[in-house]
Chain A
């Protein structure tokens, strides 16, 4: 962004949040809509709600919002219909110029009515179609049943007849003759009902039928294989064809009622076979007829939906924009004359010109006679925090914002996080093999960035995708630290020349125990591969990583305290510089800064001094001689001085600040009561502009300030120790990571290799891959990520970060799409 700011200083986009201003716009009512629309396009102004005491429907533009809601509902209806019909609204936006909202409303209404009518017609047809299908099923299934029943009845009769024909044996019932004859003449007329009942209800149906008629029914059910579309609900469900035989009128009524209650559709059925066949053909004929009608109808409907689909996105966006415009307009207060609207809002200082331009453009385009008035208000209210991030920095800023949004214009830790975060992660995740895997994974996301950002992803993928640049940095740094640790899936390589150590003579076959001497120059970069597998590998690496963690920690904490200095100078509080920054610096550095110094001296000189001993006895008996633990001449005096400094800096931190604050406050108070009269007007005026938020002078309570300072001091003093110790997690996690990868490499891969069996080897490789991906690449990444996060949030940011600001949410059409549910 090439805007001019002051000239002398380089732009500090991320170091501090953008300078903001409270602006007031007085917009003539006729151009208000267009103005807000242009500002929405610009997306750089956050409107303040000036009507917060009014409920939504009491506001000026409530009816328009209702209208928009109605249109949105229609659009949702279209979308639903399109989804049902299997279309997706086309994304190609035909820019057909501006559509008028009123026209759109009329058009949407017409389309909806048309669609509803088509649907109703289609439904009617579909319903009769489904009924016919069901009817056909009933005819077929019941027909089968009747046919088989008749068949068996005929067979039975024939058997009986044949028996009658034969001689009458003793077993023949005496009354049989009579029975059959009576049957034919005085037969009770059995009625029957046929139909379909949903399968899940069929059991209950049968049970109720049985109970209601006291068992005087015969129910026959045949399941239909394929799901049938229910004519009433239009849903596919599994159904049974049933036939109920009953006797008597009362039973019939009951059965009819039960059928109705169970949603069982009844269909007439003829007993006569010939009639059945006739009906089947008739029904089939009607089905085909209906089918063509339905097809024609749905073709028309599809056409309509397609035309809607072409413009759907455009309309949707338009309606959303309109709605947001009216929501914004509702936040403006109406002037007493009802001729103009007054808007207040925050905007970055750099955007002043753009805002003014769009105001002018709006006034011109809407043919308004008066332009909108733009003026900057002065306020004590704290402005929102706005960082102009890009796709690379935004993820890092998110990491900081997750802890707390920066106070307006305070030093932003996000800038340093870009480097320190991936670096601390990599210290724990140092293995360049794993680093490369991570890099490949994240490069996949970065390469397909354009495609992936436009589509919807799953929860976890979304998160990973959002942090792709963080992960890329983490991967790059872990390749770097991996090279330093000289680990590639835990295997060392002689990448930068040959190891500096070699066997003294031929006798040392097992070079991992004893007998190595230095034969060459020191290995140029990172850990010498010869350390790998030796007995002293662990003590050596531990000592290295532990000391390194302390150095990194002290450095980062110092950075934090220095940032508090920048904050103090920026906000013009010399009190914080003298009574917070300086004693803190002294305290931390006289203890742990000194420890870091000792570490470096020890590394450089190769001294055998015991640093624990030095540090502990520096407190316990500072006057004792150091003896063999002396690293440099005059160490004792230096230690005494440092100890004294540390002791002095504690009361320095604690006591002066609250007293000075009190004095300052009293001075101010006194001064205020003596201010000349004319300036009271001014303060009154400026106070009137401030809302309830920004009370200029809060009540000053000394005890509260003092307690606060006490807590702060204790926290810092104890924190200096515990935070330094906390950085040792770098060492611990790094150790855990490298040991785990050694285990997977040696106990899985090498073990499998040792069997000399191809199958075992393949199994071993598979286990190795899964263990590496699952445990080392996923879980270890997560845990190292979390620990790095903690080190930033707690150990680093508590030195300076207030994080009690609020984010800048400009009114912008570009953000509308994200709100989509």
Chain B
């Protein structure tokens, strides 16, 4: 269903859409990646990046660079752009933009909680958090002993609060619990985001539902693979899948009972034409390559979101693409720093 976005979209969204499309034009191209892959040292990478939009962010870094500095500065650029867009946005775009960060928020919460569980320093943990997922009282998470406290103390103030309704228990936190909490939160988040996009309607709903469905399905597959061989029961596993997406509901039933990656998961996924291509590219036993295959597919879909005008999907797509780009840069820098240049292509996903 297409609404009449073309008539009214530009009143509020036109400026930002133009901005985001301009930002997109600044994404690194295949030629850039080729050059980056040939770099010998991190300084070479810095030099190459100084000709791109990352230039101003890296130019004041003293010379012995570290991968973390590069990643940090590149992320800073993304954050700056995001903040600028958020400042300019009006409802409902601003809510949409905020939704994009909730995923990072969940990751940050999990990071801090796991970190405190293993008695890491809070400051150190805070530095590792993704800046997009920061909220005021994030450092206080360290105080919490169990899920209920976590919710009652800190998260009740954050936008994540509603997602917690399903996972409030008084059990003490442990690794397993936290992982389940992460997935439950993510499930609730994705469903909420999906609902929100449906409410927006028009091209946004159409494009975002496609992108979010892909995200949900990917998570479902990942959950399945990661939970094989653990003590998670089938019902519990089933509960972690989001209630939408291509796999919902029949694929979920089948995934829930999977016990083997190569045979069963593949068999399930190959019933769905869009995912067939992903799995057909992987030979048996290469399940660790699955991540990259999914990333490639995601990037393809995100790029397609830019083909259509007058919708909010471009913002989501842009943020995701930039994040992918930063992942790429991190991988390349790591490979260069550790002299593993032969592996450079293992995990880099070209965007254009």
Q: Which residues of B contact A208 (CB under 8 A)?
A: 137, 140, 153-154
Complex CA distance for A73 and B139, rounded to whole angstroms: 34
Cross-chain contact B142 with A261 (CB below 8 angstroms):
yes
Closest Cβ–Cβ distance, residue B121 to chain A (whole Å): 10
Given known pairs A208-B140, A261-B140, A262-B139, the reply for A57 and B44 (CB within 8 Å) is yes
Cross-chain contact A55 with B35 (CB below 8 angstroms):
yes
**B59 interface residue per 8 A CB criterion:** yes
Q: Which residues of A contact B61 (CB under 8 A)?
A: 73
Q: Which residues of B contact A77 (CB under 8 A)?
A: 60
**B62 interface residue per 8 A CB criterion:** yes
Closest Cβ–Cβ distance, residue A184 to chain B (whole Å): 35
Q: Which residues of A contact B157 (CB under 8 A)?
A: 204, 207
Q: Which residues of A contact B137 (CB under 8 A)?
A: 204, 208, 261-262
Complex CA distance for A66 and B38, rounded to whole angstroms: 17
Cross-chain contact B59 with A69 (CB below 8 angstroms):
yes
**B122 interface residue per 8 A CB criterion:** yes
Cross-chain contact B139 with A261 (CB below 8 angstroms):
yes
**A151 interface residue per 8 A CB criterion:** no
Closest Cβ–Cβ distance, residue B57 to chain A (whole Å): 13
Q: Which of these binds chain A: B45-53, B269-277, B295-303, B319-327?
A: B45-53
Of residues 139 through 156 on chain B, the ones whose CB sits less than 8 Å from some CB of chain A are 139-143, 152-154
Given known pairs A204-B137, A204-B157, A211-B152, the reply for A66 and B47 (CB within 8 Å) is yes
Cross-chain contact A62 with B47 (CB below 8 angstroms):
yes
Complex CA distance for A423 and B141, rounded to whole angstroms: 74
Complex CA distance for A58 and B122, rounded to whole angstroms: 43
Q: Which of these binds chain B: A128-136, A252-260, A428-436, A613-621?
A: A252-260
Q: Which residues of A contact B122 (CB under 8 A)?
A: 260-261
A46-79 vs B: 1/0 string, CB under 8 Å?
Answer: 0000000001111000100110011001001100
A199-222 vs B: 1/0 string, CB under 8 Å?
Answer: 001001001100110000000000
Complex CA distance for A260 and B121, rounded to whole angstroms: 11
The range of chain A's interface size is: 20 to 34
Complex CA distance for A713 and B31, rounded to whole angstroms: 45
Given known pairs A77-B60, A212-B153, the reply for A57 and B47 (CB within 8 Å) is yes
Complex CA distance for A582 and B142, rounded to whole angstroms: 88
Given known pairs A57-B44, A62-B47, A204-B136, the reply for A257 and B142 (CB within 8 Å) is yes
Q: Which residue of B lies closest to A80 (CB)?
A: B60
Cross-chain contact B38 with A55 (CB below 8 angstroms):
yes
Q: Which residues of A contact B35 (CB under 8 A)?
A: 55, 57
Q: Which of A62, A66, A207 has the most CB of B within 10 A?
A: A66
Complex CA distance for A297 and B139, rounded to whole angstroms: 36
Cross-chain contact A56 with B140 (CB below 8 angstroms):
no
Q: Which residue of B lies closest to A54 (CB)?
A: B35
Q: Which residues of A contact B153 (CB under 8 A)?
A: 208, 211-212
Cross-chain contact A58 with B51 (CB below 8 angstroms):
no
Complex CA distance for A65 and B47, rounded to whole angstroms: 9
Q: Which residues of A contact B139 (CB under 8 A)?
A: 260-262
Q: Which of B38, B40, B122, B140 has the most CB of A within 10 A?
A: B140
Q: Which residue of A lies closest to B44 (CB)?
A: A57
Complex CA distance for A261 and B38, rounded to whole angstroms: 43
Complex CA distance for A208 and B153, rounded to whole angstroms: 6
Cross-chain contact B136 with A201 (CB below 8 angstroms):
yes
Of residues 73 through 123 on chain A, the ones whose CB sits less than 8 Å from some CB of chain B are 73, 76-77
In the complex, how many residue pairs between chain A and chain B have their CB atoms under 8 Å apart?
61
Q: Which residue of A lies closest to B145 (CB)?
A: A254
Q: Which residues of B contact A257 (CB under 8 A)?
A: 140, 142-143
Q: Which of A55, A73, A201, A208 has the most CB of B within 10 A?
A: A55
**B43 interface residue per 8 A CB criterion:** yes
Given known pairs A58-B38, A76-B60, the reply for A66 and B43 (CB within 8 Å) is yes
Q: Which residue of B lies closest to A260 (CB)?
A: B122
Closest Cβ–Cβ distance, residue B218 to chain A (whole Å): 34
Q: Which residues of B contact A254 (CB under 8 A)?
A: 143
Closest Cβ–Cβ distance, residue B48 to chain A (whole Å): 6
Q: Which residues of A contact B280 (CB under 8 A)?
A: none
Cross-chain contact B48 with A55 (CB below 8 angstroms):
yes
Complex CA distance for A467 and B35, rounded to whole angstroms: 43
Complex CA distance for A29 and B62, rounded to whole angstroms: 31
Q: Which residues of B contact A204 (CB under 8 A)?
A: 136-137, 157
Q: Which residues of B contact A57 (CB under 8 A)?
A: 35, 39-40, 44, 47-48
Dominant secondary structure of chain B at its interface with chain A? helix
Q: Which residues of B contact A56 (CB under 8 A)?
A: 47-48, 51
B contact residues, total (Cβ < 8 Å):
27
Q: Which residue of B lies closest to A58 (CB)?
A: B38
Complex CA distance for A260 and B140, rounded to whole angstroms: 8
Complex CA distance for A785 and B35, rounded to whole angstroms: 48
Closest Cβ–Cβ distance, residue A28 to chain B (whole Å): 28
Cross-chain contact B59 with A261 (CB below 8 angstroms):
no
Complex CA distance for A682 and B283, rounded to whole angstroms: 59
**B63 interface residue per 8 A CB criterion:** yes
Cross-chain contact A73 with B48 (CB below 8 angstroms):
no
Complex CA distance for A802 and B122, rounded to whole angstroms: 67
Cross-chain contact B136 with A258 (CB below 8 angstroms):
no
A69 partner, pick from B47, B48, B141, B152, beta carbons under 8 A: B47
Cross-chain contact B63 with A70 (CB below 8 angstroms):
yes
Complex CA distance for A56 and B48, rounded to whole angstroms: 7
Complex CA distance for A348 and B285, rounded to whole angstroms: 67
Complex CA distance for A70 and B60, rounded to whole angstroms: 9
Complex CA distance for A471 and B50, rounded to whole angstroms: 40
Given known pairs A212-B143, A261-B140, the reply for A73 and B50 (CB within 8 Å) is no
Of residues 215 through 269 on chain A, the ones whose CB sits less than 8 Å from some CB of chain B are 254, 257-258, 260-262
B28-43 vs A: 1/0 string, CB under 8 Å?
Answer: 0000000100111001
Q: Which residue of A lies closest to B152 (CB)?
A: A211
Q: Which residues of B contact A62 (CB under 8 A)?
A: 44, 47
Q: Which residues of A contact B63 (CB under 8 A)?
A: 70
Closest Cβ–Cβ distance, residue A56 to chain B (whole Å): 6
Q: Which of B48, B122, B136, B157 has the most CB of A within 10 A?
A: B136
Q: Which residue of B lies closest to A65 (CB)?
A: B47
Complex CA distance for A257 and B137, rounded to whole angstroms: 12
Complex CA distance for A207 and B154, rounded to whole angstroms: 10
Q: Which of A73, A77, A204, A261 has the most CB of B within 10 A?
A: A261
Q: Which residues of B contact A212 (CB under 8 A)?
A: 143, 153
Q: Which residue of B lies closest to A76 (CB)?
A: B60
Q: Which residues of A contact B39 (CB under 8 A)?
A: 57
Complex CA distance for A207 and B153, rounded to whole angstroms: 9
Q: Which residues of B contact A69 (CB under 8 A)?
A: 47, 50, 59
Q: Which residues of B contact A258 (CB under 8 A)?
A: 140, 143
Complex CA distance for A77 and B61, rounded to whole angstroms: 10
B123-139 vs A: 1/0 string, CB under 8 Å?
Answer: 00000000000001101
Complex CA distance for A261 and B138, rounded to whole angstroms: 8
Q: Which residues of B contact A76 (CB under 8 A)?
A: 59-60
Q: Which residue of B lies closest to A200 (CB)?
A: B136
A262 partner, pick from B44, B50, B62, B140, beta carbons under 8 A: B140
A559-573 vs B: 1/0 string, CB under 8 Å?
Answer: 000000000000000
Q: Which residues of A contact B48 (CB under 8 A)?
A: 55-57
> What residues make up the interface of A, taking CB atoms closer than 8 Å to B?
55-58, 62, 65-66, 69-70, 73, 76-77, 201, 204, 207-208, 211-212, 254, 257-258, 260-262
- Besides A76-B59, A261-B122, 15 other CB < 8 A contacts? A55-B35, A56-B47, A56-B51, A57-B39, A69-B59, A73-B61, A77-B60, A204-B137, A208-B137, A208-B153, A212-B153, A257-B140, A257-B143, A261-B139, A261-B142
Q: List 30 A-B contacts (CB under 8 A).
A: A55-B35, A56-B47, A56-B48, A57-B39, A57-B44, A58-B38, A62-B47, A69-B47, A73-B59, A73-B60, A73-B61, A73-B62, A76-B60, A77-B60, A204-B137, A208-B137, A208-B153, A211-B153, A212-B143, A212-B153, A257-B142, A258-B143, A260-B139, A261-B122, A261-B137, A261-B139, A261-B143, A262-B137, A262-B139, A262-B140
9 shortest A-B CB distances, which residue pairs?
A261-B139, A55-B35, A57-B44, A261-B140, A257-B143, A57-B47, A211-B153, A208-B140, A70-B63
